[in-house]
Amino acid sequence: MARLAEYNEERRPSDPNILIIGGSRGIGAETARLFSCKGYNVAITYNKSREKARSVLEDVKACNPKGNHKLYKLDVRSYEQVRHLANQIEKDYPYINVLVYAAGILQYGDIEQLTPQEWHNVIETNLTGAYYTTKELLPLLKKAPWASIIYIASIAGETGNIVAGAAYSASKAGLIGLTKRLAVELAKYKIRVNAVAPSFVETDMTRQFLDTEEKRERVRKLHPLEIILQPRDIANAIYFLADPQHSRGITGHILSINAGRRT
Ligand SMILES: NC(=O)c1ccc[n+]([C@@H]2O[C@H](COP(=O)([O-])OP(=O)(O)OC[C@H]3O[C@@H](n4cnc5c(N)ncnc54)[C@H](OP(=O)(O)O)[C@@H]3O)[C@@H](O)[C@H]2O)c1
């Protein structure tokens, strides 16, 4: 709770609505906590991690007790489920100001080991789900007085030079293309579209690469700043890109958060 209180100092005056796809763990969960403490109503989706999502909801309620916060079950690979989610959200919120697409799975190893099934699973989860959710939530974004979409890309989609494999890198490069195209296309509705592109962040996704001091040191040394990025570092950047008070002129931008790593 002390950690949450730090967010509290600068509450937003109104009560905008954010929907975080993949808010049960990691970067999405931390984004939920941050935005609730900034005065947002927070809707999060989970797929497998129901208990973790409930715990995130408790944190969110603790920081913004009067907010309208909701949990939804969603597998982003199912277009039917995404359509159902959009119908549910429409009943619970008048509009969505911020859509964050944080659902994702890692794939690593060489193309020789990459099966077609794994390729499709990664692309569907990391990229196709972003298309499904953006398409189905667009009417609710258009209804908002201001709106913004943030995708979580990756250094893997920028340089390819990280532990992630071809399917993961391709999915993240795809998100970068989606960001650039939709920024142009949705500007007529004044909807901004941006992405963050983190390097290694300490979450469940990267746990196996950070579970000994030796491995942690190796990851630190990959980054000129010699730090291990934390979910809050990414959530802060998402807040900057989402909120028009900070970034109303920024759209189609890929904000690299890489502790100085360029390759
Ligand atoms: N960690 C990093 O180093 C790093 C770096 C660059 C980019 N990213 C990207 O940041 C995003 C968040 O990653 P993270 O590190 O926070 O990972 P994480 O802790 O493993 O969380 C992944 C999230 O995605 C959700 N998810 C996975 N498959 C899903 C599906 N089929 N349908 C709906 N939701 C699904 C999970 O939900 P459930 O648990 O409820 O199933 C969970 O909320 C991902 O797109 C990842 O690629 C991460």
Contact indicator for 45, 74 with CB cutoff of 8 Å: yes
Written as six digits, the tokens of 254 are 């890929």
User: 3-state DSSP call for residue 164?
Assistant: strand
Q: Rounded to 5, what percent of the chain is helix, strand, coil?
A: 50, 15, 35
In the chain, what are the domain boundaries?
Answer: 15-256
> Is 2 a residue whose pLDDT tops 60?
no
Q: What angle do CA 100, 59, 96 make, to 5 degrees?
A: 30
How far is ligand 1, taken at its centre, from the CA of residue 171, in Å?
13
CA nearest neighbour of 199 among 157, 167, 237: 157
> Is 8 a residue whose pLDDT tops 80?
no
What span, in angstroms and rounded, lies between the C-alpha atoms of 86 and 263? 39
The confidence score (pLDDT) of residue 3 equals: 46
> Is 165 a residue whose pLDDT tops 70?
yes
Q: What is the side-by-side order of every strand in the sheet holding 147-152?
A: 70-73, 41-46, 17-21, 98-101, 147-152, 191-198, 254-257
> Is 234 a residue whose pLDDT tops 60?
yes
How far is ligand 1, taken at its centre, from the CA of residue 178, in Å?
18
Q: Which of 5-9, 21-25, 76-80, 227-231 has the lowest mean pLDDT?
A: 5-9
Contact indicator for 250, 192 with CB cutoff of 8 Å: yes
Ligand 1 environment, Cβ below 6 A: 22, 24-28, 46-49, 74-77, 102-105, 125-126, 152, 154, 198, 200-201, 203-206
CA-CA-CA-CA dihedral for 35, 170, 131, 240, to nearest 10: 20
Give the pLDDT confidence of 93-144 residue by residue, as tens digits. 999 999 999 999 999 999 999 999 999 999 999 999 999 999 999 999 999 9
The confidence score (pLDDT) of residue 136 equals: 98
* Cα-to-chain-centroid distance, residue 65: 23
For residues 149-162, give the mean pLDDT: 92
> Is 240 a residue whose pLDDT tops 50?
yes
pLDDT above 90 coverage of the chain, percent: 92
CATH class of 15-256: alpha beta
> Is 216 a residue whose pLDDT tops 90?
yes
Angle between helices 50-63 and 26-37 (to 10 degrees): 20
Q: How many residues does the chain have?
A: 263
Written as six digits, the tokens of 46 are 């989970």
Q: Which residues contact 187 (CB under 8 A, 6 or more apart)?
A: 251
User: 3-state DSSP call for residue 212?
Assistant: coil
Would you place residue 10 in the very low, low, confident or very high pLDDT band (cuts 50, 70, 90)?
A: very low
The confidence score (pLDDT) of residue 161 equals: 73
Tell me whether strands 98-101 and 70-73 are parallel, antiparallel or unpaired: unpaired
Contact indicator for 141, 149 with CB cutoff of 8 Å: yes
DSSP 145: S
> Is 208 a residue whose pLDDT tops 80?
yes
Give the pLDDT confidence of 58-89 residue by residue, as tens digits. 999 999 999 999 999 999 999 999 999 999 99
Residue with tokens 């969603």: 74
Which atom of ligand 1 is found nearest the CA of 205?
Answer: 20
> How high does pLDDT run on average in the chain?
94
Q: Whose CA is nearest to atom 11 of ligand 1?
A: 102
The confidence score (pLDDT) of residue 14 equals: 67
Give the pLDDT confidence of 15-54 residue by residue, as tens digits. 899 999 999 999 999 999 999 999 999 999 999 999 999 9
How far is ligand 1, taken at its centre, from the CA of residue 188, in Å?
30
> Phi, psi at residue 178, to the nearest 5°?
-60, -45
The confidence score (pLDDT) of residue 9 equals: 42
What span, in angstroms and rounded, lies between the C-alpha atoms of 248 and 250? 6
